[in-house]
Copies of this chain bind each other. A is one copy, B any other.
Amino acid sequence: MSTTKKAKKHGAGHDAPQHARTRPTTLDPDWEVAPTESLRAPVGFDLAAFDRGSTPGFAGGKAAGQALVARHADELSELQERLFAEGRSGGSRSVLLVLQGMDTAGKGGIVRHVVGLVDPQGVAHRSFGVPTPEEREHDYLWRIRRALPEPGYIGVFDRSHYEDVLVARVDALVPPDVWEARYDEINRFEEEIVASGTIVVKVALLVSYEEQRARLMERLERPDKFWKYNPNDVDSRQKWPAYQEAYQAVLDRTSTEIAPWHVVPADRKWFARLAVSELLLDALRRLDLGWPPADFDVEVEKKRLAAT
């Protein structure tokens, strides 16, 4: 109703009637195209041509984006609680948010500002850095498996098994035939975890070369940001083309029907946060979460309690 009207007003009208027709009623009018559609890496996605300052599908500006995150916070939080309740009541489902991106792409900000909207009790956050000696003794998926979210949890991976086809490929940490085989291994691995009841939301935060320079420079200019800087960040930056090639291969070879990649322009922080917040909300909505029924006799318990 009024949603449809507003959507038209914001530009989803004449030249995009197919979106106007299929837009879910829950979609905020500022989305001309649902973020699950507008951000999903299409077949043949061309990373080099991607505008990292754009806001695909979203007609609003920064204020509208921030307002929408705030407006959806309660629903996000309640659905997370339902998921947690389900996990406590014998359910097996969970959500895994995989965040990948070059340094300064904003992974940390997503965790603080988006994941921070829900109850920390139901969040299992894990950063994957350089493997520890113990981790190195095992297959690259070993540490990943151990960090998968338990039923009821939202798992958050700040970097992930994709590092094993990104830095591992760029820096030749393993021979080509080894990283080459990993794309299929990762697809099979993700099939497994999806089959076990985990919704996998994969997000590539794509920051531009220029914006990365500016953000790194800020870390060098502000003493409260020194701790975020590592000389290694410039080393990686010097390998930018090789990293872009490795990201392109990830998007080409591991964006599957069951665990698609979302490509999120990250030059505007507000948009990246909005995008991830909406993708997470969509994942939770798809679970169609109710409240678990009582596994005890409510009337009997009321009497027992009243007698105390």
Contacts and interface: CB of A to CB of B under 8 A. Distances in A.
Interface of A: 85-86, 88-89, 108, 111-112, 115-116, 118-121, 123, 125, 127, 156, 158, 213, 216-217, 220-221, 223-224, 226-231, 234, 237-238, 240, 291-294, 296, 298, 301-302, 304-306, 308
Contacts of A111: 119-121
A100 B111 CA distance: 28
Given A116-B119, A120-B112, A127-B121, A227 B305 contact: no
20 contacts: A86-B227, A88-B227, A115-B120, A116-B118, A121-B125, A121-B127, A121-B158, A216-B305, A217-B305, A220-B301, A221-B302, A223-B293, A223-B294, A226-B293, A226-B294, A226-B298, A229-B296, A231-B296, A231-B304, A237-B308
Given A226-B292, A229-B296, A231-B296, A120 B123 contact: yes
A238 B308 contact: yes
Given A227-B292, A234-B301, 16 more contacts: A89-B227, A112-B120, A112-B121, A121-B127, A213-B305, A217-B305, A217-B306, A220-B302, A223-B291, A224-B291, A226-B293, A229-B294, A231-B301, A234-B304, A234-B305, A234-B308
